[in-house]
Amino acid sequence: MLNQSAPPLPGPDSLLALAFPSDPQISPDGRRAAFVLARIEEEDPQKVDSGFARPRYKSHIWLAENGSAQQLTRGEGRDTSPRWSPDGTTLAFVRDGKLHLLPLGGGEAQRITDFAGAVQDLQYSPDGRFLTFFSAGDDEDKRDERGEARIITRPRYRFNGRDWLPERSARLWRYDLQQHELSEWLAPTVEVTGYAWQPDSQGVLLVSSADELRATQWQQEVYRLGLSGIPEQLTRWNSAITAVIPHPDGQRFALVGRPEGKGSPENTHLFLVEPGGSWQRLDRDHDHPVGNLVGGDCHVGALPDRPAWLDGQTLLFSSTVRGSCGLFRITLDGTVTAHDHDPQAVVPSFTARGGGVALIRERADRFPEVELNGTTVTDLHARLPFVARTPGRGTFHNELGAGEGWVLLPDGDGRVPAVLSIHGGPHTDYGHAFMHEFQLFAARGYGVCYSNPRGSAGYGQAWVDDIHGRWGDPDMADLLNFFDRCLEAHPRLDGERSAIMGGSYGGYMTNWITGHTARFGAAITDRSICNLLSFGGTSDIGLRFWDDELGLNFHRSADTLKLWELSPLKHVENVQTPTLIVHSVLDHRCPIEQAEQWYAALTLHGVPTRFVRFPGEDHELSRAGRPDRRLVRLQEYLAWLEQWLKVSAPEAKVEALR
């Protein structure tokens, strides 16, 4: 017989073969779509360092029509943010932070700006006269470079993904396409988080806060800005607003947000605001959040999902329903119907106009693809260097009813180590999105179990609310209940060789659970929380977050003992589980001081621990971090699992740490 060797197991470098779609933009006539495709290549192909690879994201604009897609822009940089002119003849886009205009009838792209600051959030006025965007212009902050002191007087001064916030908020600029003139339109005193042109092209609606303190409390309002003049406040909303969508009549508008008095546990919903400021919730009978909250790790780039008016009576929006996300229509009388909802898929991004829809769709066993009017125009799944596995669904029960989760098993019949993974949020979802990380673990011989315990989105408001004020109680019960059901339903899973892992809130739960049980042989805690008291004063959302989630806050003496009781650090002396700690230096959502405290405490208690710190990365490392750092992260994960779950002799485990 011929000797046939098995194919090599895929490794973290399988990530390098993938291309990531984002920002699908439908044309005004609804027949074409522009989108961004990011790939991973060597930073400078002319200067390759054989001893130190530098894989980086590079992206181009692609154009889809007639059932297929072709590359539209080329170069070695990053082309992003394609936006159609109203007549469909020109595509605006951003190349390495600079605004460009590309005539689609032929010709080279023309650069419009040369600011030091990047251009963001391009929008054409409906009449095609203006192209607007936000930018800091030529403002540059060189205080760190010069070694200067920072004088801080504002409540918000650092933010995840941006590091130090600028002294001045980004300004709204207006480029007159007829006069070829660029001018500053608005210099806001408080950052504008979103805007949209009104149908008559006489101005825009802005989302911002009355002052910086209200901004830290997620208290936002809608303002109208005319072509000349100052913003006029239209609402007394006093709560979070994530999108504003002017009605075709130019008088009313819809918004996505939460009403006053409702914090982050409240699902986002659709509201219609009348000219006088009165409002009504449109989706009052739809007990699911607006937008996609199902996590995936193949989302590199912008994923717009702002609702769109199909006509004066109907709004198209996306919504998370259990572990899926699809498109739904809602009429002004509140009737919600499915427009394009596959319960086994996720639509993380879409745009709609001119009777057409461009979107991205993915499944747990299918890489994200771009679709135009129901036709898939990419074949990115073919780039996957291993066969994707299909997870099996499982359930668990609690006093609220049935919850669900999934198990991704390796090929074969033998017993395999079992890994319990916990999502972040906590008000997000695991589900039918493609997870390269899970597929990689399964290909390497691990069974991956993941679920949506109480607190997860997509299962109704009561499911979300049940962990309010009591993190670590109902959610821990659900997670371990589901894991036990997995072990019972799948005899191949070896409960004696098990690991627990999670990121953000999932990292908090990993720390919490290992402080309350020693059943797991290994733990991986990523961008985690361990001390709720110090988190309150160091996180970019800390001034408000615990009020919303727990009804407590670090600056009130009456709450401090309760926050400490809910902190994993309070229970660290019970931890026996060997723990890998992964964290990014520029993570301002869950600051690195949390990882430093956990590492110090585990070390003092003699728990086998390894701490991996990533420079230049923030809270998004696992999903959109620099490719070489994403590879190292996955290598560290696999090495830790291999060390503690596949080495049977205790002596070998001890020796491996030396």
Residue 356 has pLDDT above 90, yes or no: yes
Q: Which long-range contacts (CB under 8 A, 24 or more apart) does 372-377 make?
A: 372/24, 372/26, 372/32, 372/33, 372/64, 372/65, 372/67, 373/30, 373/31, 375/67, 377/33, 377/64, 377/67, 377/68, 377/69
Which pair of structure tokens corresponds to residue 421? 């993974």
Hey, what's the torsion of the CAs at 173, 95, 78, 132, to 10 degrees?
A: 30
- d(C-alpha 624, C-alpha 617), whole Å: 10
Which residues sit opposite 317 in a β-bridge?
328
| Preceding peptide of 385 cis, ω within 30° | no
Hey, what's the torsion of the CAs at 227, 231, 235, 241, to 10 degrees?
A: 90
| pLDDT tens figures, 392-444 | 999 999 999 999 999 999 999 999 999 999 999 999 999 999 999 999 999 99
Length of the chain: 658
**What is the pTM (predicted TM-score) of this model?**
0.95
- The answer to whether the beta carbons of residues 40 and 436 sit under 8 Å apart is no
3-state SS, 453-485, equals CCCCCCCCHHHHHCCCCCCCCHHHHHHHHHHHH
DSSP β-ladder status, 232-233 and 241-246: unpaired
- Predicted confidence band at 42 (pLDDT cuts at 50, 70, 90)? confident
Residue 596 has pLDDT above 80, yes or no: yes
- d(C-alpha 598, C-alpha 592), whole Å: 10
DSSP 383-443: G-SSPPPPPEEEEEEETTEEEEEEEE--SSSS-EEEEEEE-STTT-B-SSS--HHHHHHHH
Residue 308 has pLDDT above 80, yes or no: yes
- The answer to whether the beta carbons of residues 107 and 88 sit under 8 Å apart is no
**Helix intervals (H) in 490-624:** 505-514, 532-538, 545-550, 557-565, 592-604, 621-624
- The answer to whether the beta carbons of residues 409 and 442 sit under 8 Å apart is yes
- The answer to whether the beta carbons of residues 92 and 105 sit under 8 Å apart is no
| pLDDT tens figures, 224-247 | 999 988 999 999 999 999 999 999
- d(C-alpha 235, C-alpha 224), whole Å: 10
- Predicted confidence band at 5 (pLDDT cuts at 50, 70, 90)? low
Amino acid identity of residue 446, one-letter, is Y
| pLDDT tens figures, 213-222 | 999 999 999 9
- The answer to whether the beta carbons of residues 332 and 313 sit under 8 Å apart is yes
Q: What percent of the chain clears pLDDT 90, i.e. is strictly above it?
A: 93
Which of 575, 529, 571, 574 shows the shortest CA–CA distance to 554? 529
Distances (CA, A) of 110 to 107, 135, 205, 376, 543: 9, 18, 29, 31, 44
DSSP 230-267: --EE-----B-EEEEEE-TTSS-EEEEE--TT--TTSP
- The answer to whether the beta carbons of residues 574 and 604 sit under 8 Å apart is no
Q: What is the phi-psi region of residue 504: left when phi exceeds 0, alpha when psi lies from -120 to 50, beta otherwise?
A: left
Q: What is the phi-psi region of residue 514: left when phi exceeds 0, alpha when psi lies from -120 to 50, beta otherwise?
A: alpha
Residue 595 has pLDDT above 70, yes or no: yes
Mean pLDDT over 562-588 rounds to: 98
- Predicted confidence band at 657 (pLDDT cuts at 50, 70, 90)? very low
Distances (CA, A) of 366 to 22, 182, 439, 576: 16, 44, 11, 38
DSSP β-ladder status, 447-451 and 416-422: parallel
Name the helix (H) or strand (E) containing 635: helix 627-645
- Predicted confidence band at 52 (pLDDT cuts at 50, 70, 90)? confident
Residues with Cβ within 8 Å of 22's Cβ and at least 6 positions away in sequence, in order, are 35, 36, 37, 38, 80, 299, 300, 301, 302, 303, 349, 360
Residue 655 pLDDT: 39
- d(C-alpha 614, C-alpha 632), whole Å: 9
- Predicted confidence band at 47 (pLDDT cuts at 50, 70, 90)? confident
Residue 229 pLDDT: 81
Which of 144-153, 169-178, 340-349 shows the lowest per-residue confidence on average (mean pLDDT)?
A: 144-153
Mean pLDDT value across the chain: 95
- d(C-alpha 328, C-alpha 342), whole Å: 11
| pLDDT tens figures, 159-171 | 999 999 998 999 9
Mean pLDDT over 37-64 rounds to: 89
Which of 3-7, 216-220, 462-466, 541-545 shows the lowest per-residue confidence on average (mean pLDDT)?
A: 3-7
Higher pLDDT, 658 or 360: 360
- The answer to whether the beta carbons of residues 14 and 436 sit under 8 Å apart is yes
- The answer to whether the beta carbons of residues 239 and 218 sit under 8 Å apart is yes
| pLDDT tens figures, 237-284 | 999 999 999 999 999 999 999 999 999 999 999 999 999 999 999 999
Residue 654 pLDDT: 36
Mean pLDDT over 372-380 rounds to: 98
- The DSSP secondary-structure symbol of 285 reads T
HSE-up (13 A, CA, CB side) for residue 112: 27
Mean pLDDT over 440-458 rounds to: 98
- The answer to whether the beta carbons of residues 634 and 585 sit under 8 Å apart is no
Which pair of structure tokens corresponds to residue 69? 């897609």
Residue 650 has pLDDT above 60, yes or no: no
Separation of CA 402 from chain center: 27
| 3-class DSSP assignment, residue 309 | strand
Residues with Cβ within 8 Å of 655's Cβ and at least 6 positions away in sequence, in order, are none
- Predicted confidence band at 656 (pLDDT cuts at 50, 70, 90)? very low
Residue 51 has pLDDT above 90, yes or no: no
Residues with Cβ within 8 Å of 245's Cβ and at least 6 positions away in sequence, in order, are 196, 253, 254, 255, 256, 306, 307, 308, 309, 315
- d(C-alpha 185, C-alpha 627), whole Å: 37
Q: Let me know if 333 is exposed, middle or buried by CB neighbors in 10 A (0-12, 13-18, 19+).
A: exposed
- d(C-alpha 161, C-alpha 544), whole Å: 19
Separation of CA 501 from chain center: 19
| pLDDT tens figures, 180-194 | 999 999 999 999 999
Mean pLDDT over 633-650 rounds to: 84
